Structure 1
Amino acid sequence: MNKKILKRIQRRDRIARYVITVGGMAVIFSVLLILFLIARVTVPLFQPAVAERVARFPVADQGATVMAAGLDEYRESPFVVDAGGRVQFFAPGGQPAGGELLLAPPVGAGRILAVDSGEELTFGALWDNGSMTLDQVRFPSGFDAEGRRVQSREVARLASLPPLEQGVPKQALVRRDGEERLTQVALLADNRLLIRQLVTETDLFGDSREATHLLEATGLPGEPITAMVLDTTGKNLYAGTGRGTLLHWDLSEAGAVELLDRLPAFPDGRAITSLALIFGDISLAVGDDRGGVATWFGVRDGEGVKRLQRIHVLSGHRRAVAGMIPSRRDKSLISFDAAGQLHMDHMTSERHLLTLSSEAPLRAGSLAPRGDGLFAVDAAGTGYLWKLRNPHPEVSWRTLFGKVWYENYDQPRYVWQSSAATEDFEPKKSLTPLIFGTLKGTFYAMLFAVPLALLGAIYTSQFGNARLRGMIKPTVEVMAAIPSVVIGFLAALWFAPLLERSVPALFLGLLLVPVFLLAAMVLWQGVRNRPLGKQLDRGVEFLLLMPVLVLAVATAITLGPMVENWLFDGNFKLWLFHEAGVRYDSRNCIVIAFALGFAVIPIIYTIAEDALSNVPQSLKAASLALGASRWQTVWRVILPSASPGIFAGTMIGFGRAIGETMIVLMATGNTPIMDWSIFNGMRPLSANIAVEIPEAPVGGTLYRILFLSAVILFTMTFILNTAAELVRQRLRKKYGRF
Structure 2
Amino acid sequence: MASSIVDKSRRNDRLAAWLIKAGGLFVIVAVIGILMLIARVALPLFYAPSADRLPEVSAELQALLATDGSGTSQTRELGESGSLTITLLPGNRFAVQRRNVEKDLLGNEKTTEQSYKLSDPLPGTISTFWLGRKGQNLYAGTDNGWLVRWDLSGDGEGRLIETVEAFKDHRRITALATVLGDNSLAVGDARGEITTWMPIAKPGSGEDKQLALIHHLPGFAQPVSRLLASPRDKSLAAFDAGGTIRLVHMTSERLLLELQAGLPVTAAAFADRGRQLVVAGADGRSVAWKLDIPHPEISFSTLFGKVWYEGYNKPEYVWQSSAATDDFEPKISLMPLIFGTFKATLFAMLFAVPLALLGAIYTSQFMAPSLKGRIKPAVEIMAAVPSVVVGFLAGLWLAPLMDKHLLALFLATIMVPAMLLAAILVWRPLAEKTEIGRNLKGYEFLGLLPVVVLALWLSGQLAVPLEATFFGADLKQWLYSALGVRYDQRNSIIIAIALGFAVIPIIFTIAEDALSNVPRNLSAASLALGASRWQTAWRVVLPSALPGVFSAIMIGFGRAVGETMIVLMATGNTPIMSWSLFNGLRSLSANIAVEIPEAPLNGTLYRTLFLSAVLLFVLTFIINTAAELLRQRFRKKYGRY
Do these two structures clear the TM 0.5 threshold for a shared fold by scoring above it? yes
Q: Distance in 2 between matches of 1:310 and 1:462?
A: 66
Amino acid at match of 1:269: H
Residues 570 and 76 (structure 1), Cα distance of their counterparts in 2 relative to 1, 3 Å cut = farther
* Counterpart residue number, 2:339: 436
Change in CA separation of 1:380 and 1:181 when aligned onto 2, cut-off 3 Å: closer
Of 59, 75, 87, 1:186 maps to 87
CA distance in 2, matches of 1:53, 1:115: 22
Give me the whole-angstrom Cα distance separating, in 1, the residues matched to 2:110 and 2:617: 65
Q: In structure 2, how many angstroms separate the alpha carbons of the residues matched to 1:337 and 1:730?
A: 62
Counterparts of 1:713-732 in structure 2, within 5 Å, are 713-732=616-635
- Provide closer, same or farther for how the CA distance between residues 222 and 667 of structure 1 changes in structure 2, counting only shifts above 3 A: closer
In 1: Cα distance, 2:328 partner to 2:47 partner? 23
Per-residue CA deviation, residues 265-307 of structure 1 (Å, 9 max, x unaligned), is 1110011111111000000000011111111110100135410
Instruction: Report if the CA contact (8 A) 1:329-1:369 is conserved.
Output: no
The equivalent residue for 2:639 is 736
SS in 2 for 1:487: helix
Q: Within 1, Cα distance between the matches of 2:222 and 2:105? A: 56
In the aligned structure 2, how far is the partner of 1:471 from the partner of 1:5? 42
Asked if structure 2 preserves the Cα contact closer than 8 Å seen for 1:250 and 1:258, the reply is yes
- Asked if 1:309 corresponds to 2:212, the answer is yes
Is contact 1:56–1:382 with CA below 8 Å preserved after alignment? no
Q: Secondary structure at the match of 2:188?
A: strand
Q: Are 1:233 and 2:233 an aligned pair?
A: no
Of 84, 95, 101, which residue of structure 2 is paired with 1:200?
A: 101
Match in the other structure for 1:6: 6
Alignment deviations for residues 307-326 of structure 1 (CA, whole Å, 9 cap, x no partner): 00110110011111111111
Residue 72 of structure 2: aligned partner = 171
**Is 1:681 aligned with 2:584?**
yes
Farther-moved stretch of structure 1 (200-209 vs 346-355): 200-209
Give 1:379 shift: 3.3
Find the counterpart in structure 2 of residue 620 from structure 1.
523
Counterparts in 2 of 1:328-343, with a 5 A limit? Answer: 328-343=231-246
**1:133 maps to what in 2?**
none
- Partner amino acid, structure 2, of 1:5: I
Deviation at 1:220, TM superposition (A): 3.5
Deviation of the 1:532 alpha carbon:
3.3
What does 1:209-224 align with in structure 2 at a 5 Å threshold?
A: 209-221=110-122, 223-224=124-125
RMSD in angstroms over aligned alpha carbons? 1.8
**Which structure 2 residues correspond to residues 544-559 of structure 1 after superposition, within 5 A?**
544-559=447-462
Tell me the alpha carbon deviations over residues 85-134 of structure 1, each in whole angstroms, 9 at most, x when there is no partner: xx9xxxxxxxxxxxxxxxxxxxxxxxxxx9438xxxxxxxx9xxxxxxxx
Return the index of the structure with the highest Cα Rg: 1
Q: Distance in 1 between matches of 2:509 and 2:45?
A: 43
- 1:528 alignment partner, SS class: helix
Residue 553 of structure 2: aligned partner: 650
Whether 1:459 and 2:459 are equivalent positions in the alignment is no
Aligned equivalent of 2:68: 116
Match of 1:421 among 313, 324, 328: 324
- Which amino acid in the other structure matches residue 638 of structure 2? Y
Structure 2 distance, partners of 1:404, 1:199, is: 39
The answer to whether 1:575 aligns with 2:575 is no
* Inter-partner Cα distance in structure 1 for 2:280 and 2:96: 31
Please say which of residues 576-585 and 528-537 is displaced more in the overlay.
528-537
Alpha carbons of structure 1 residues 222 and 518: separation in structure 2 relative to 1, 3 Å: closer
Shift of 1:209: 3.5
Q: What is aligned with 1:356?
A: 259
| Counterpart residue identity of residue 32, structure 1 | I
User: Cα distance, 1:586 vs. partner?
Assistant: 0.4
Report the alpha carbon displacement of residue 519 of structure 1 after superposing the two structures with TM: 1.1
Say if 1:334 and 1:344, in contact at 8 Å, map to a contact too: yes
SS at match of 2:467: helix
Letter in 2 for 1:642: A
Counterpart contact for 2:129–2:139, Cα < 8 Å: yes
Q: What's the counterpart of residue 122 of structure 1?
A: none
Distance 1:626 1:526 in 2: 23
Q: Give 2:29's aligned residue.
A: 29
**Correspondence 1:72-471 to 2 at 5 A:** 77-80=60-63, 115-116=67-68, 171-201=72-102, 209-221=110-122, 223-303=124-204, 304=206, 305-471=208-374
Q: 1:512 aligns with which of 387, 410, 415?
A: 415
Question: 1:551 Cα deviation (Å)?
Answer: 0.3
Specify whether residues 608 and 737 from structure 1 end up closer, same or farther in structure 2 by C-alpha distance, changes over 3 A only. Answer: farther
Q: Is the 8 A contact 2:177 2:187 kept in 1?
A: yes
Once the 2 structures are TM-superposed, how far is the Cα of residue 709 of structure 1 from its aligned partner?
A: 0.5
- For residue 531 of structure 1, report the CA deviation from its aligned partner: 2.6
Aligned residues: 639
CA distance in 1, matches of 2:123, 2:72: 18
Higher relative contact order (CA 8 A, sep 6+): 2
CA-CA distance at 1:47 after TM superposition: 0.9
Rounded to whole Å, the distance in 2 between the matches of 1:423 and 1:205 is: 31
C-alpha distance in 2, partners of 1:716/1:637? 34
Partner amino acid for 2:62?
F
**Cα distance, 1:76 vs structure 2:** 8.1
CA contact (8 A) 2:238 2:247 kept: yes
Question: Contact (CA 8 Å) 2:76, 2:85: kept in 1 or not?
Answer: yes
> In the TM superposition, what are the counterparts of 1:478-627 in structure 2 within 5 Å?
478-627=381-530
Normalised to the residue count of structure 1, the TM-score between the two structures is 0.84
Give the TM-score, by structure 2 length: 0.97
- Counterpart-to-counterpart distance in 1, 2:98 and 2:598: 43
Equivalent in the alignment of 1:43: 43
Higher helix share: 2
Q: Residues 61 and 271 of structure 2 are in contact (CA less than 8 Å); yes or no, is this contact kept in structure 1? A: no
Question: C-alpha separation between the residues in 2 aligned to 1:218 and 1:582?
Answer: 49
**CA deviation string 1:682-703 (max 9, x = no partner):** 0000000000000001100000
- Counterpart Cα distance in 2 of 1:220 and 1:244: 15
Take 1:54 and 1:251, find their aligned partners in 2: how far apart are those partners? 40
- State the AA in 1 paired with 2:299: S
Matches for 1:622-637 after TM superposition, within 5 Å:
622-637=525-540
Which runs of 5 or more residues in structure 1 are unaligned? 58-74, 82-86, 88-113, 118-125, 127-169
Q: What CA deviation, in whole Å up to 9, does each residue of 1:116-159 have, x standing for no partner?
A: 38xxxxxxxx9xxxxxxxxxxxxxxxxxxxxxxxxxxxxxxxxx
**Matched position secondary structure for 1:582:** coil
The 2-side partners of 1:594 and 1:3 are apart by 60
Q: Say which is worse superposed, 173-182 or 439-448, in terms of deviation.
A: 173-182
Q: SS of the counterpart of 1:77? A: helix
- Once residues 589 and 300 of structure 2 are traced to their aligned partners in structure 1, the CA distance between those partners, rounded to angstroms, is 20
What secondary structure, in the 3-state scheme, does the structure 1 residue paired with 2:490 have? Answer: coil
Q: Deviations over 1:703-738 (max 9, x none)?
A: 000000000110111011111111111111111168
Work out the CA distance in 1 between the residues paired with 2:474 and 2:434. Answer: 51
Q: Deviations over 1:56-79 (max 9, x none)?
A: 67xxxxxxxxxxxxxxxxx88321
- Residues 511 and 534 (structure 1 numbering): CA distance in 2 closer, same or farther, change over 3 Å? closer
Deviation at 1:380, TM superposition (A): 3.7
Identity among equivalent positions (%) equals 55
Give how far 1:80 is off. Answer: 4.6
What amino acid does structure 2 have at the position aligned with 1:365?
Answer: A
Counterpart residue type for residue 175 of structure 1: R
**CA drift at 1:224:** 2.0
Give the residue type in structure 1 aligned to 2:173: I
| Amino acid aligned to 1:243 | N
Contact kept? 2:92, 2:122, Cα under 8 Å = no
Distance 1:531 1:492 in 2: 47
Stretch of structure 1 that moved more, 683-692 or 219-228? 219-228
Separation in structure 1 between the aligned mates of residue 257 and residue 121 of structure 2, nearest angstrom: 37
Write 1 or 2 for the structure with the bigger share of strand: 1
